Structure 1
Amino acid sequence: MSNLNEIPIESVRIAIIGSGPRGMSVLERLASRLIELDIKEKVEIFLIDDGHVGTGRIWSTEQSSLLLMNTIAQEISAFSGLWDEKEPRPGSGPSFAQWWQKYRNDYSDFNGYAPRAYYGEYLLYVLSTIERSLPFSVTLHKISARVERLDETEKYQLLQLSNNQEILVNRTVIATGHSTNKLKDIEKDLDDFASNTPSVTFIKGGSVAQMDLSSIQPDQGVGIIGMGLTFYDLMAELTIGRGGKFVSEENGELRYCPSGKEPRIYAGSRSGMPLPVRGRNQKPFDYEYQPAIFTLKRALNIRKRGNIYFERDVLPLLEAEMTLVYAETELRLNKSKLVAQQLRKDVIKSQVESANGVNELALKYGISHPISINIYDLADPFKNNTFPSIEEFNKKLYSIILDDYNEAMNGNVDSPIKAAFDVIRNTRSVVRLFVDFGGLHPHSHQFEFLNKFNSASSFLSAGPPAFRSLQLQALIKQKILTVVGPSMKIKTSSNDRCIYMYSPHVQNSNVALNVVIDARIPTTDITYDCSNLTQSLIKDGIFVPFVNKKDDIEFQTGGVNVTLSPFHPIRADGTIAEKIYVLGIPTEHTRWFMQSGSSRPHKWIDFMIDADAIAFDILNSQDLSVNEEKDAYMLHS
């Protein structure tokens, strides 16, 4: 392919592979900088997606309006600056909530939690805004196709597409989303069993919008593995999506009126508890939390020291911060705001680093009993419990779900426990400082952080809107939905030609099923990714998994090994592919929480900072000649 270096390109060409929120954020920042710069050459940008260009697969505008986001719209913007009420443009445009209120009349119907299809429409609005705003010398090509292969040369990358098109570019940004992985372990066993058993159906994990649920018959038993956000999507699709209705009762509860088309839903997970719901939002769109204990400064000092174990060095600080917020909330509600503020000041002044330290001070200010925050216990509510029947378990589960709903309705400011859970969301940047690029000891990274904390933190902080709990309660009361119990197990039966789901902690919980749906989100592991592009990049040594290594201990994470910002892949031979950038989900585990799909309206979080760093690097490359005065202002601002 060396002759490609001799092919003249009359313009600077930039490819963005993946047009979901990450790819769109890079495009928006490129456009914003290009508008400010006096570019001499022609620039061509190729926005490529194997789904609908501008939304990707996850945010398709064609999906059911029952599938909701779990972040409130007012906290989301795909523009990199607050809207100044003038003509929208890259760098200044309406937030998702502002767009929703302007172009639709149902904003109040969803308690601020939008259908994913609406966010897809918003992304298309952002894309059209970008297109209208581009300088005359810049051309945007929207291409709906898969990139099957990337061939790298000294100067260029040649992209080979599924539509037989070939594109030669100077820079490539890989911002692909959730992968489809080769099945392994229990998923492969279930798929193989279903393939060889005509009466059994296994639906693989992924987005509900892409699942074919049409073969599921009324009153048929359907098992759901996992009770996270996808579980709630399935719950909605298999009930109100089939014509059922939730009716409000005078006591504030919901009653479910079946359509007769619903299956019987059986669900289970490791915890046995559906994801707790988010607290009713009481925070303004520009709310920012300032930690007193779990601070960036403290994290930097520990990171410099090295040899970090998550459960020894990090988790106690986070739980202490959560304990402080819990105590502050109680003091503010039962004493005064001034007393709560004084507690925080004393915690900072005394340089408290533990939950015990917080409790000692809180007791002096009037907290009646020590506050115990243990993330793993909170995420495992049925630990060491057994139940005589599936009915008794569901009674207990119902009471816990009801208590959780009541706490959620107190709000994410006025409920001590929901306010504490929000600390996990609000301090993700601090966690990243400890974890990213091998910050943890390899053993701790694998077993303490990814295997334990990652799921527990998501369980406590990433829940759906509170009204989902009312729907869940109604379906349990109607016996349309049954949870089999904690530590859910799956086994296949060739003799009975079915799949059994059961809990070892619940007697007589064995349920025979002919349809099982995996409601877990596939984890990132490029070695199992079915994408031809990913596998070709691995074969050519451009992609290799990041290995967290210390002494003779190694943990191969499955995420792409990349440099620090702007995230160039580090090849198998240790050299850096400086003309390629990898952003988001493919780098999960090298960095943490890359599945985030939005930035905030008022402030750049990591999401937008990363996108701008890539835009800056592309425009600061030798491929472009820019006006020197504007270059000094923009590229070094």
Structure 2
Amino acid sequence: MNDSAVPAQAPDRRPVDAVVVGAGPRGVSVLERLVARAVPGDRPLRAVLVDPYPPGAGRVWRRDQPPQLLMNTMVADNTVFPDGSVRLDAPVDTGPTFSEWLRAIAGKGHPDSTAAEFAARAHDRDYAPRRVYGAYLSDALERIRAAAGDRIRIAVRTAAVVRVTPLAAPAGASGAPAGYQVVLDDGDRLAARAVVLATGHLDAPAAPPRREPLHLPGGHPTDYALDTIAPGARVLLRGGGLNAFDVLALLTLGRGGRFGEHGYTPSGREPRIWITSRRGVPFHARVDAPGVTAPVAFLTPERVAALAARDRLDFRADVLPWLLADLELAWYDRVLELHPGHLPDPGALRRALAEPPGPDREAALRTAAPAALRLDLDAVAEPLRGRSFA
């Protein structure tokens, strides 16, 4: 038979059970729970995952971005699979955490060379390249699809959703919609019994285009046209948050510069960069405590249960003091390790930390720790508080 005579197969227009809008970590987590909760029936459930970006990684974690762009949480803090510490009425331990996945590929390798190289040297307190987490998410999605078996049929559509419209319920039915019509940017329409919006962060409204000077509006740093910025050009970053650090990395490390023990060695291809921030200063660095699990002695599970049993609770008066006491334990544990010679009496600091929250503890800590080493969260949040400048 001539192949050209074979009629094209008509698309399946039957309603699906669920459309998940967004195929990044939120969408993957939704799909994982659908699979974990699904039970064999007369017919398999049908789910469609929709995203214009690669499924699993999505936009933020896609695997074609530069390795200089790092996650802002540590390896040990990330997973799309729940474990035994989570109380759910469906199976858990359905897949590896990010840390477990890295250990596995460190032994057996991985098609993504960046992921394999990072896994070979990774520790739980490292900050991974985002593209490596994207590889984990892509593998997780394939694991979930394989686990679905005959219970859920999962399709992936590479498209953007432009509109979701509730369908009117039949006459005489309750007010709940009969389902939804999901319109894609390729013109296709999906009928769905349920829609889950797992779109993650949304872009800020686009600013009007400008010709002079070059203006790059906010968005994902990999979407900025940074190659158009010439070496030595003057660059102003509006804001000093995570995107600013990403842009700094791309305009320094991404152009061949190197950070080392004695500072930064430029490549000569960097622009001149100014950073502005409404706070006036950068955010405080995170406390460095490699390999240390923060101690919990005050806001224990037992105390949380006792607080939860109260009829009324004031967070600032009833909860925050105990939380701050544990933060002080973690902070001063590091101070005792790094700066014992700067403490008038390390034993006095340890005794002060054992005191319960209250005025006596605060006075003892002020006496035991010099001002330069003292934990002052208000000063961290507002470092210019009370100061004025000409």
The alignment's TM-score, normalised by the length of structure 2, stands at 0.74
Identify which of structures 1 and 2 has the higher relative contact order when contacts are C-alpha pairs closer than 8 Å and 6+ apart.
1
Tell me by how many angstroms 1:50 deviates. 2.7
In structure 2, C-alpha distance between the alignment counterparts of 1:332 and 1:245, rounded to whole Å: 30
> In 1, are the aligned partners of 2:15 and 2:191 still within 8 Å (CA)?
no
In structure 1, C-alpha distance between the alignment counterparts of 2:238 and 2:306, rounded to whole Å: 39
Partner of residue 282, structure 2 = 274
Tell me by how many angstroms 1:20 deviates. 1.3
Please list the CA deviations of residues 387-419 of structure 1 after superposition, one character each: whole Å capped at 9, or x if unmatched.
Answer: xxxxxxxxxxxxxxxxxxxxxxxxxxxxxxxxx
Confirm or deny that 1:79 pairs with 2:81.
Answer: yes
Confirm or deny that 1:219 pairs with 2:228.
Answer: no
In structure 2, C-alpha distance between the alignment counterparts of 1:92 and 1:136, rounded to whole Å: 17
Confirm or deny that 1:31 pairs with 2:35.
Answer: yes
In structure 2, C-alpha distance between the alignment counterparts of 1:77 and 1:136, rounded to whole Å: 25
Partner of residue 59, structure 1 = 61
Partner of residue 629, structure 1 = none
> In 1, are the aligned partners of 2:98 and 2:136 still within 8 Å (CA)?
yes
> In 2, are the aligned partners of 1:327 and 1:367 still within 8 Å (CA)?
no
Please list the CA deviations of residues 451-498 of structure 1 after superposition, one character each: whole Å capped at 9, or x if unmatched.
Answer: xxxxxxxxxxxxxxxxxxxxxxxxxxxxxxxxxxxxxxxxxxxxxxxx
Q: Which moved more, 1:24-33 or 1:328-337?
A: 328-337
Partner of residue 164, structure 1 = 187
Partner of 2:17, secondary structure, is strand
User: Amino acid of the residue matched to residue 25 of structure 1?
Assistant: S
Partner of residue 245, structure 1 = 258
Partner of 1:202, secondary structure, is coil
Pick closer, same or farther for the CA change 1:274–1:369 going to 2, 3 Å.
Answer: closer
> In 2, are the aligned partners of 1:146 and 1:161 still within 8 Å (CA)?
yes
Partner of residue 359, structure 1 = 362
Tell me by how many angstroms 1:274 deviates. 2.6
Pick closer, same or farther for the CA change 1:327–1:105 going to 2, 3 Å.
Answer: closer
Partner of residue 163, structure 2 = 149
Q: How many residues align?
A: 343
In structure 1, C-alpha distance between the alignment counterparts of 2:24 and 2:223, rounded to whole Å: 16
Pick closer, same or farther for the CA change 1:374–1:238 going to 2, 3 Å.
Answer: same
Partner of residue 5, structure 2 = none
In structure 1, C-alpha distance between the alignment counterparts of 2:178 and 2:79, rounded to whole Å: 35
In structure 2, C-alpha distance between the alignment counterparts of 1:142 and 1:289, rounded to whole Å: 44
Match of residue 22, structure 1, among 26, 41, 53 = 26
Please list the CA deviations of residues 235-273 of structure 1 after superposition, one character each: whole Å capped at 9, or x if unmatched.
Answer: 110112122334x4xxx3234132x22110011213333
Partner of 1:148, secondary structure, is strand
Partner of residue 263, structure 2 = 254
Partner of residue 149, structure 2 = 135
Tell me by how many angstroms 1:30 deviates. 1.5
Match of residue 312, structure 2, among 305, 317, 320 = 305
Confirm or deny that 1:50 pairs with 2:52.
Answer: yes
In structure 2, C-alpha distance between the alignment counterparts of 1:207 and 1:281, rounded to whole Å: 30
> In 2, are the aligned partners of 1:320 and 1:358 still within 8 Å (CA)?
no
Confirm or deny that 1:98 pairs with 2:110.
Answer: no
Give the gaps of 5 or more residues in structure 1.
1-8, 83-88, 184-190, 387-504, 507-637
Partner of residue 327, structure 2 = 322
> In 2, are the aligned partners of 1:43 and 1:138 still within 8 Å (CA)?
yes
User: Amino acid of the residue matched to residue 14 of structure 1?
Assistant: A
Tell me by how many angstroms 1:379 deviates. 2.7
Partner of residue 13, structure 1 = 17
Please list the CA deviations of residues 208-245 of structure 1 after superposition, one character each: whole Å capped at 9, or x if unmatched.
Answer: 11212122111110011222222221111011212233
Partner of residue 609, structure 1 = none
Partner of 2:117, secondary structure, is coil
Pick closer, same or farther for the CA change 1:212–1:114 going to 2, 3 Å.
Answer: same
Q: Which moved more, 1:145-154 or 1:367-376?
A: 367-376
> In 2, are the aligned partners of 1:28 and 1:90 still within 8 Å (CA)?
no
Q: Which moved more, 1:234-243 or 1:96-105?
A: 96-105
Tell me by how many angstroms 1:120 deviates. 0.8
Pick closer, same or farther for the CA change 1:254–1:326 going to 2, 3 Å.
Answer: closer
Partner of residue 292, structure 1 = 298
User: Amino acid of the residue matched to residue 381 of structure 1?
Assistant: P
Partner of 1:46, secondary structure, is strand
In structure 2, C-alpha distance between the alignment counterparts of 1:92 and 1:268, rounded to whole Å: 45
* Equivalent residues in 2 for 1:119-134, closer than 5 Å: 119-134=133-148
* Equivalent residues in 2 for 1:321-470, closer than 5 Å: 321-327=326-332, 340=350, 346-347=355-356, 352=357, 354=358, 356-360=359-363, 367=368, 373-385=375-387
> In 2, are the aligned partners of 1:13 and 1:43 still within 8 Å (CA)?
yes
> In 2, are the aligned partners of 1:11 and 1:41 still within 8 Å (CA)?
no
Tell me by how many angstroms 1:378 deviates. 1.7
Please list the CA deviations of residues 52-71 of structure 1 after superposition, one character each: whole Å capped at 9, or x if unmatched.
Answer: 22222111111111100121
